[in-house]
């Protein structure tokens, strides 16, 4: 009979020395682990635990039993993994995603365990926003999306554009303390979802991850990818303000997006720029256009045909947005107006899995 899914991780090991390392990590993370000292007990609880750590002492026997594939399975060993014959072969056989060398990787495993008791843990929607041309208003839209999403639960706006104005300034969070990209670049390994959510500047449900004043250093791809992954685990919505030029740094992030929005001024120059951007951008993400209304605008169906993407929303200029940003209120002042209406449509589009075909 299957056991109900619980918040207790499973430690499958009979090695007391390994348990002496694992149990304090669980206690520090605020979870109580279930210990299975033999293969039979490990198999009985295999599918119900949210996370499984298999000791090097049991992994070969467990691999021979061919357990069902599952997520969040890891193999742990004391000392260096190469000292154990066929450890990696057995880890692959049980479907483990990593081999954890303890105590060296204790911090990594602690963060993994801590996410189990995070009340916001899950998979938040990820929206990428990029300007089809310069001055299209992509950062303003990204911040407005973050503000609107933050009213329903924790949201994060991630600044991946070194040439942008800074999402913390647009959101009015630049006067708050918190971590920035330079703080994350010095670290390594898995980033805790809860730690990231609590450490960034945040107000009214929306936080910002950007550069510190004067820091425009290149952002390592691994740092961006890990930050977005942690943000997705700990937020209901993550909005990434992307640079216009595609690069290896953002390609994996684009692949993670539930929706990629290209903000376009429907003028001849704006559409031509968006066509070039769409042709060079990595394929695979579900994408659509957001049109900024301009005088003598090209018709939406003509823009869609030229760029090869559907028009998801149109957005006229809204009076008072610049003033609101200057006052530190962020671009989304109320639930009314063209910006608010466009944001509501886009959040519904991103959150609806039926539209992801």
Torsion of CA 310, 315, 321, 325, to 10 degrees: 0
Residue 121 — pLDDT band, cuts 50, 70, 90?
low
Provide the pLDDT for residue 236. Answer: 93
3-class SS of residue 94: coil
Q: Delineate the domains of the chain, giving CATH numbers in brackets.
A: 10-117 (3.40.50.10140), 125-355 (3.40.50.300)
More confident residue, 326 or 301: 301
Pairing between strand 202-203 and 206-209?
Answer: antiparallel
Provide the pLDDT for residue 318. Answer: 75
Burial class for 83, CB neighbours closer than 10 Å (0-12, 13-18, 19+): exposed
pLDDT digits (tens, 9 = 90+) for 24-66: 999 887 889 999 999 999 999 999 999 999 999 999 999 999 9
Lookup: tokens for 206: 């929306």
Nearest to 225 by CA among 247, 198, 195, 201: 247
pLDDT digits (tens, 9 = 90+) for 75-120: 999 998 887 888 999 999 999 999 999 999 888 888 788 778 776 6
pLDDT digits (tens, 9 = 90+) for 257-275: 999 999 999 999 999 999 9
- CA distance to 195, 197, 208, 252, per residue, from 211 (Å): 18, 16, 10, 20
Across residues 243-250, what is the average pLDDT? 70
Residue 162: how many other CB atoms lie within 10 Å: 15
Mean pLDDT rounded to a whole number for the chain:
87
Do 212 and 240 contact (CB within 8 A), yes or no?
Answer: no
> How far apart are alpha carbons 25 and 43 in whole angstroms?
23
Provide the pLDDT for residue 141. Answer: 95
């Amino acid at each position: 009979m299957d056991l109900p899914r619980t918040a207790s991780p499973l430690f499958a090991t009979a090695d007391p020395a390994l348990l002496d390392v694992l149990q304090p990590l669980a206690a520090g993370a605020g979870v109580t682990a279930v210990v299975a000292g033999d293969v039979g007990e490990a198999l009985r609880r295999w599918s119900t635990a949210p996370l499984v750590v298999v000791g090097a002492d049991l992994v070969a026997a467990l691999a021979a039993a061919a357990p069902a594939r599952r997520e969040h399975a890891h193999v742990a060993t004391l000392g260096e993994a190469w000292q154990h014959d066929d450890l990696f072969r057995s880890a692959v056989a049980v479907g483990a995603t990593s081999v954890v060398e303890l105590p060296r990787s204790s911090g990594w495993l602690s963060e993994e365990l801590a996410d189990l008791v995070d009340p916001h843990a899950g998979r938040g929607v990820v929206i990428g926003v990029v300007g089809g041309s310069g001055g299209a208003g992509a950062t303003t839209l990204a911040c407005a999306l973050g503000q609107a999403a933050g009213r329903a639960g924790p949201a994060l706006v991630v600044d991946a554009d070194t040439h942008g104005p800074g999402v913390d300034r647009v959101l009015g969070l630049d006067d708050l303390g918190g971590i920035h990209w330079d703080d994350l670049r010095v670290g390594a390994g898995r980033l805790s979802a809860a730690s990231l959510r609590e450490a960034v500047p945040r107000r009214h449900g929306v936080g910002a991850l950007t550069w510190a004043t004067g820091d425009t250093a290149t952002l390592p791809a691994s740092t961006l990818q890990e930050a977005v992954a942690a943000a997705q685990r700990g937020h209901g919505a993550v909005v990434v303000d992307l640079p216009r030029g595609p690069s290896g740094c953002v390609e994996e992030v684009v692949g993670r997006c539930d929706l990629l929005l290209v903000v376009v001024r429907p003028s001849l120059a704006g559409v031509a720029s968006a066509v070039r951007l769409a042709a060079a951008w990595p394929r695979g993400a579900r994408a659509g256009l957001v049109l900024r209304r301009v005088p003598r605008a090209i018709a939406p169906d003509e823009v869609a045909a030229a760029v090869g993407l559907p028009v998801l929303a149109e957005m006229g200029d809204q009076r008072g947005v610049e003033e609101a940003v200057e006052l530190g209120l962020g671009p989304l002042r109320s639930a009314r107006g063209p910006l608010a209406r466009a944001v509501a449509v886009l959040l519904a589009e991103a959150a609806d899995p039926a539209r992801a075909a």
